């Protein structure tokens, strides 16, 4: 996720302090990985330096002065460009799971055990995400669906690999 573009997008609603940006980010996007304050202020400093935000005002706070940031026209253009650009699909051609299976075969370890262990972990996580999805709001449901679809694809791959394990073993040991 592009934190800088996300923060810029949040600023389109109006000027905000770093604390407000962090809180809004965490509500919408930080369920599993909330932002650290240092991340927010480092990002805002870079955006300020690059002319994508400006300081809209400074207020005294309980500690240091609180800067209120506003997005610039260049920032709006940057967000628009980012939103209109498709994300590169991840083909997973350098899969850690595949590497582990091949190494297990090359070192005479049980690739079947590895696949079974991985399958169990995927199913455990799928149960957890399904519970979260049932109890969650629409945002949680959509995020969980995305993860569940990826896990389902991994499970299909695990099953296919298990079915082809003897053939793969012959090829990698040749």
Q: How many domains does the chain have?
A: 2
Domain CATH code at residue 50 = 1.10.10.10
Interval 64-87: pLDDT, tens: 778 999 999 999 999 999 999 988
pTM of full prediction above 0.75: no
Please tell me the distance from the alpha carbon of residue 14 to that of residue 8, in angstroms, as a whole number: 10
Residues 106 and 167 in one domain: yes
Residue of 56, 55, 69, 57 whose CA lies nearest to 18: 69
Mean pLDDT for the stretch of residues 36-48:
95
pLDDT at 127 over 70: yes
**Distance from first CA to last CA of the chain, Å, rounded?**
42
Contact in structure between 73 and 137 (CB atoms under 8 Å): no
Asked if residue 91 belongs to a domain, the reply is: no
Residues 44 and 116 in one domain: no
Between these two residues, 124 and 91, which has the higher pLDDT value?
Answer: 124
Residues 50 and 14 in one domain: yes
pLDDT at 94 over 70: no
Please give the residue range of the domain that contains residue 154: 96-173
* H or E stretch at 77: helix 73-84
Residues 101 and 80 in one domain: no
When the pLDDT of each residue in the chain is averaged and rounded to a whole number, the result is 92
């Amino acid at each position: 996720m592009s934190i800088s573009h996300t923060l810029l997008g949040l600023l389109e609603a109006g000027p905000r302090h770093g604390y407000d940006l962090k809180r809004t980010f965490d509500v919408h996007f930080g369920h599993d990985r909330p932002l650290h304050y240092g991340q927010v202020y480092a990002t805002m400093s870079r955006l300020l330096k690059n002319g994508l935000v400006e300081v809209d005002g400074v207020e005294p706070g309980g500690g240091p002065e609180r800067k209120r940031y506003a997005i610039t026209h260049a920032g709006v253009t940057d967000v628009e460009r980012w939103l209109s650009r498709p994300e590169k699909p991840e083909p997973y051609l350098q899969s850690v799971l595949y590497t582990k299976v091949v190494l297990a075969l090359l070192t005479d370890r049980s690739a079947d055990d590895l696949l079974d262990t991985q399958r169990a972990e995927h199913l455990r996580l799928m149960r957890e995400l399904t519970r979260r999805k049932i109890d969650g709001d629409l945002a949680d449901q959509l995020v969980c669906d995305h993860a569940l679809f990826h896990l389902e694809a991994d499970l299909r791959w695990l099953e296919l690999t298990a079915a082809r394990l003897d053939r793969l073993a012959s090829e990698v040991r040749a």
